[in-house]
Amino acid sequence: MNKQAQIIGETSIAVPHYPSMVHGVISNESHKEVRSPFDDALIATVEVSNRDAIERALQTAYRLFRDRDSWLSAPQRIDVLRRAAVLMSERAAELSMMIAREGGKPLVDARIEVARAIDGVTSCVELVRGSGGRVIPMGINTASANRIAYTQTEPIGVVVALSAFNHPLNLIVHQVAPAVAAGCPFIVKPASDTPLSCLTFVAILREAGLPPEWGQAVVTQTQDVATLLASDKRVGFLSFIGSGDVGWKLRSSLAPGARCALEHGGVAPVIVAADADLDAAIPRLAKGAFYHAGQVCVSVQRIFVHRSISRELVNRLGKVASELRVGDPTDVETEVGPLIRLHEVDRVDAWIQEALAAGAEKITGGYRLGTPSCYAPTVLLNPPDDCRISQQEVFGPVVCVYEYDNFDDAVRRANALPVSFQAAVFTRDYEIAMRAFSRLDASTVMLNEHTAFRTDWMPFAGLRESGLGVGGIPFTFHDMQVEKMFVGTKP
């Protein structure tokens, strides 16, 4: 990273410039501005990789993978990851502020993201230390007599990681650190809105000892250039986090033999039973709905609440939402920041106004704030099931509450959409909890916790249109390897 002068209005200031992170590419003189989603302030400029740079990155990564003598040993990989975790800890404040500035995540939550990312890198060290093969039984019939068989793991090949904006450091760690641990050369493309955390993490890996050609990063202006990465026959594994429309299209363009993991969005349902502890539920529901302004793939979006307690729940939830501090994400007291782009504010508002016109009751919110990129946290009661806000992922600070009389009907409505990710139930009744667990279409069902709860070592999987494969650092590490068997005759 270096400094270059940029003219902003009448003032000339120096902003960081991030050069190419493709090995062997100096510059193609095509740059992209990175601006704060909160106030549009220029944060940095980054070099954009063109088709030639993408080809150079693929050539470099594939050459490394095909040269087995150049593979990084387990001790080398462990050392890189350990040093990277130390460097990240030393720069935690810088990384947190970077997340807040480029992604709009409130600083208090950005600090948590950095802590999780550091822990994720450390977890990869333990995965390398604990990885091994298995013994395959032999000598149990005539054909296997006097034979021995065992397996060990090898890297799957070149890893291409395409990431999203909403967790600009931790998502990259989830996609890239397991590749380092598995011994795969990687090429990572961050979201174009939030490239700085990714580029900084790759620079940290290099500073920690990762040879530059083993970890490359590209920033692209158009989706078609990024598609070149995913569809290339030299790619062994594609890790994609983003919209379903893009993810499923990329999967269809994979070269034969390439594997992939796709993580898309959901419209997360929560069922609140009549016996739920609302004192415990309300703060959790509010956090799950409005964390990062609702820009999380498992945000609480649909709450199905028993009619007997619905008015109390919406009034209390609306009060909490109306009191949230919305504004500058770099302010330590901010609880909800901006949406990533101005046109997303327009879209969210349009969906809300559509629901209100169709008969939804507004409990709170439903309007733009003074800062163009911020939207008031919104609670709606009983929007029609056929509204967009009831059918699609809103990715904004909005939660919809629906009344129900029969628990199984609530489950039916929760399961009615083609997406399926994490779900939750709030109840004090174990039988109700287990009924929800057995009947909700979800990869995870939370009990008395919001749908956005996650630890980085647990499985994290979208079902149906919500994704393919299983995320979570240990599971990604497993997917980025192949199990290779040796069969021999005993002497």
Q: Which residues are catalytic?
A: 263, 297
Cα 273 from chain centroid (whole Å): 30
Q: How many CB atoms lie within 10 A of CB 245?
A: 10
Six token digits for residue 38: 């909160």
89 and 266 Cβ atoms separated by less than 8 Å = no
Residue 375 CA to residue 423 CA, distance in Å, equals 25
Pairing verdict, β 361-364 and 378-381:
antiparallel
Q: Of the candidates 251, 257, 180, 250, which has an alpha carbon nearest to the alpha carbon of residue 216? A: 180
d(C-alpha 409, C-alpha 143), whole Å? 57
End-to-end CA distance of the chain: 58
DSSP assignment of 273-327: -TT--HHHHHHHHHHHHHGGGG-STT-EEEEEEEHHHHHHHHHHHHHHHHTS-BS
Q: Indicate the length of the chain as a whole number.
A: 491
CB 207 within 8 A of CB 35: no
